[in-house]
């Protein structure tokens, strides 16, 4: 099941800089996208979402961009902080609550 | 902040045995889900549950699996006749409306 792809397994960024996490999808039926953050030994924590009818959603340091024609979305974290170090999962939703996850990208923010 | 709680945090079971994983969703949530994550792989959807019935299930969720909401607070995943490949982290999630889903910290299931 490769409906959601996160091609970068890891990303390392300096504190204060921008982190850009990318996600591609193949299922054109997705009508909602979410980003989750996951720390070791914890469940995924909801971070930010975007409806398929929008191209940008911002919440504090986190912004998600959606390019529907390219079937691509990205999460920008500015400025990055060491506490942002975690695994980030992109997810697409269809039929309102049928969610498919990407494989995740491990973000390391170095002090 | 309300949380989804899962018990136990780690379950060790002999192959062929039945196991029940328990979840207490957030109290005013109406939609419930189970996911699993095999070590080193992605989080995979198993099943969604609404209004006391399964609303969606993946191809993974075969006859070996069942879910139940036995009372007003618990949501359980039963795995009959466990296999080695059932070893994984199992996450429960709930949502008030469709999204976002809120996850528990998972149960690590180890089949020996």
Each residue's pLDDT tens digit, B69-112: 988 789 999 999 999 999 999 999 999 987 899 999 999 999 99
Name residue B16's beta-bridge partners. none
Q: Does B93 touch chain A (CB under 8 A)?
A: yes
The region of weakest confidence among A10-14, B10-14, B52-56 is: B52-56
CA distance A36 to chain B (A): 10
Please answer yes or no on whether A98 and B91 come within 8 Å at the CB atom.
Answer: no
Ranked by mean pLDDT, the top range of A29-33, A37-41, B83-87 is: B83-87
Flag whether pLDDT at A97 surpasses 80.
no
**Cβ atoms within 10 Å, residue A101:** 22
Cβ atoms of residues A53 and A72 within 8 Å: no
Measure in Å the smallest separation between the Cα of A40 and chain B Cα atoms: 10
Phi-psi region of B64 (alpha: psi -120 to 50; beta: other; left: phi over 0): alpha
The C-alpha angle with vertex A101 and arms to B108 and A90, in degrees rounded to 5, equals 115
Mean pLDDT of chain B, nearest integer: 93
State the best of A2, A38, A43 to mutate against chain B, taking most chain B CBs within 10 Å.
A43
The answer to whether the CB atoms of B104 and A43 lie below 8 A apart is: yes
């Amino acid at each position: 099941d490769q409906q959601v792809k996160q091609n970068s397994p890891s990303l390392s960024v300096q504190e204060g800089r921008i982190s850009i996490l990318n996600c591609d999808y193949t299922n054109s039926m997705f009508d909602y996208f979410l980003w989750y953050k996951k720390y070791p030994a914890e469940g995924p924590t909801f971070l930010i979402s975007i409806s398929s009818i929008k191209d940008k959603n911002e919440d504090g340091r986190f912004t998600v961009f959606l390019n529907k024609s390219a079937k691509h979305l990205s999460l920008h974290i500015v400025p990055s902080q060491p506490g942002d170090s975690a695994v980030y999962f992109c997810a697409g939703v269809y039929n309102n609550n049928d969610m498919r996850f990407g494989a995740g990208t491990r973000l390391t923010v170095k002090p | 902040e309300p949380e989804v709680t899962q018990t136990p945090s780690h379950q060790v079971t002999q192959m062929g045995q039945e196991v029940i994983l328990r979840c207490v969703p957030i109290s005013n949530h109406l939609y419930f889900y189970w996911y699993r994550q095999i070590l080193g792989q992605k989080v995979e959807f198993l099943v969604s549950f609404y209004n006391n019935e399964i609303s969606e299930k993946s191809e993974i969720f075969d006859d070996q699996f069942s879910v139940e909401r036995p009372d007003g607070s618990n949501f359980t995943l039963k795995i009959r006749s466990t296999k080695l490949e059932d070893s994984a982290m199992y996450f429960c999630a709930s949502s008030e409306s469709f999204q976002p889903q809120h996850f528990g910290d998972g149960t690590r299931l180890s089949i020996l």
